[in-house]
Amino acid sequence: MLCGEMVATEEALLERFAPWAEEVRRLAEARDAVILAHNYQVPWIQDVAHFVGDSLELSRKAAETPAREIVFCGVHFMAETAAILCPDKRVLIPDLDAGCSLAATIDAESLRAWKAEHPGAVVVAYVNTTAEVKAESDICCTSSNAAAVVNSIPADREILFLPDQFLGAHVERVTGRKLHVWMGECHVHAGIGSQELQDLVRSEPDAELLIHPECGCATAALYLAGEGVLPADRTHIVSTGQMIRRGREEQAEGGRFIVATETGILHRLRKENPAAEFTAANEAAVCRYMKTITPAKLIRSLREGVFEVTVPEEVAVRARAAIRRMVEIG
Ligand code: 13P
Ligand code: SF4
């Protein structure tokens, strides 16, 4: 494609974005709705949202918003978390099919069976779980506070950590605690391997490595950093929100970053840090669930008030206690 054609396409897109964004904001205001978007959402959705963030930041925003409605542009467990935290608000998701392959690796029945094998153990559930699983758990965590949550539990208590095996291995490493870890994984992050990281580091030797703890390569990356194959002082295992903050801190020096997570985050990283360069560790790391939320579906959600996410109160009351404990820890 010629450069001129590409610019024309971008201009045409921008021309379409402005009226769409205006309509979205007008409808949101009329409904008294706040639009929350996860860092993996498509660029238009991120750019129109009132707030963009990681799982923990979005839970916090949901809990404190004065708006009457929350339109959640993310996946279903995130909207459920908002509904649990805000029982007096209506929570909408533009597409109910926005699931999560990691959350689908464990259900409440399997968790009850696992608990029965370890009576008295503390159950730590990553937020990427259904409301029913959270209701069976003692405390939730996200990728940004998992180690702090585990450290808050007395050292003599047995811990069941679920459902992500790579995050579990990372938390064991950081806290020095031995956990019972559920062997679930996210199909997007499990697919980011250490070989592509090593190849990229060879071609960009000065880059910082930002690796999400759900990545299949996280353990190998730290091992390779210890062996001197990857740069130890520039290898960071971080949540999506921490990636954004790290980009901000380093951008003044025109930093270079290799980013190992879902590629949707590159939009925000590049927009907020124009002086820095960001390369995806794996261009194919795209979460189809996050991408089911489209601009057309967001408009429909706001026009028609669909699709409401609700959690039965008997489930919500127990799940809320686990989520609140997490939010208090930070
Ligand atoms: P963060 O909490 O880091 O945003 O991660 C959420 C998620 O779904 C990762 O795949
Ligand atoms: Fe779930 Fe993975 Fe998608 Fe995150 S990237 S929402 S963990 S399937």
Q: Does residue 190's CB lie within 6 angstroms of at least one atom of ligand 2?
A: no
| Residue-level pLDDT at 249 | 78
C-alpha span between 256 and 279 (Å, rounded): 8
pLDDT tens column, 26-50: 999 999 999 999 999 999 999 999 9
**End-to-end CA distance of the chain, in Å?**
47
The predicted structure's pLDDT at residue 1: 41
Tell how far the Cα of 166 is from the centroid of ligand 2, in angstroms. 13
Region of poorest pLDDT, from 61-70, 157-166, 252-261, 303-312: 252-261
| Cα 7 to averaged position of ligand 1 atoms, centre (Å) | 33
251 versus 149: the higher-pLDDT residue is: 149
Q: Are 213 and 166 in contact (CB under 8 A)?
A: yes
CA 100 to ligand 2 center in whole angstroms: 5
**Closest C-alpha to ligand 2, atom 6:** 100
Residue 280 has pLDDT above 90, yes or no: yes
Model confidence at 8, pLDDT cuts 50, 70, 90, reads: low
pLDDT of residue 320: 97
**What are the tens digits of pLDDT across the range 155-170?**
999 999 999 999 999 9
Predicted pLDDT at 11? 81
Contact call for residues 34 and 69 (beta carbons, < 8 A): yes
Distance from residue 102's CA to the centre of ligand 2 (Å): 6
Residue 200 C-alpha to ligand 1 middle, in angstroms? 23
Give yes or no for residue 89 having a pLDDT over 70.
Answer: yes
Average of per-residue pLDDT values in the chain:
93
Tokens of 257: 């970053």
> Rounded to an integer, what distance in angstroms lies between the CA atom of residue 254 and that of residue 274?
9
Determine the residue of 129, 262, 288 to mutate for testing ligand 2's pocket, defined as the one with the most ligand atoms within 8 A of the Cβ atom. 262
Confidence of residue 253 (pLDDT cuts 50, 70, 90): low
Eight-state DSSP code of residue 137: -
Where residue 329 falls among pLDDT bands split at 50, 70, 90? confident
Which segment, 3-12, 195-204, 250-259, is predicted with the most confidence on average? 195-204
Ligand 1 geometric centre to CA of 127 (Å): 9
pLDDT computed for residue 275 by the predictor: 86
Identify the residue whose C-alpha is closest to ligand 1 atom 6: 55
Would you place residue 3 in the very low, low, confident or very high pLDDT band (cuts 50, 70, 90)?
A: very low
- What is the length of the chain? 330
Q: Which domains does the chain have, with CATH numbers?
A: 3-98+290-304 (3.40.50.10800), 103-185 (3.40.50.10800), 188-280 (3.40.50.10800)
**Mean local confidence (pLDDT), 100-109:** 98
Give the closest residue to 214 by CA, choosing from 170, 174, 181, 245: 170
| From 97, 105, 186, 261, mutation site for ligand 2 pocket: most ligand atoms within 8 A of C-beta | 186
Mean pLDDT on 9-16: 82
Asked whether 214 lines ligand 1 (CB < 6 A), one says: yes
At 4 the pLDDT is 47
pLDDT in tens, 215-251: 989 988 888 888 888 888 889 999 998 898 888 876 5
Q: Kindly state if the Cβ of 127 falls inside 6 Å of ligand 2.
A: no
Q: Please tell me the predicted confidence (pLDDT) of residue 7.
A: 58
Could you give the angle at which helices 194-203 and 218-226 cross, rounded to 10 degrees?
50
Cβ of 222 less than 6 Å from ligand 1? no
User: How much is the average pLDDT of 285-290?
Assistant: 98
163 CA to centre of ligand 2 in angstroms: 12
Mean pLDDT confidence for 140-151: 95
In the reported structure, the alpha carbon of residue 288 is separated from the centroid of ligand 2 by a whole-number distance in angstroms of 9
Question: What pLDDT was estimated at residue 229?
Answer: 83
Does 62 sit in the ligand 2 pocket, CB within 6 Å?
A: no
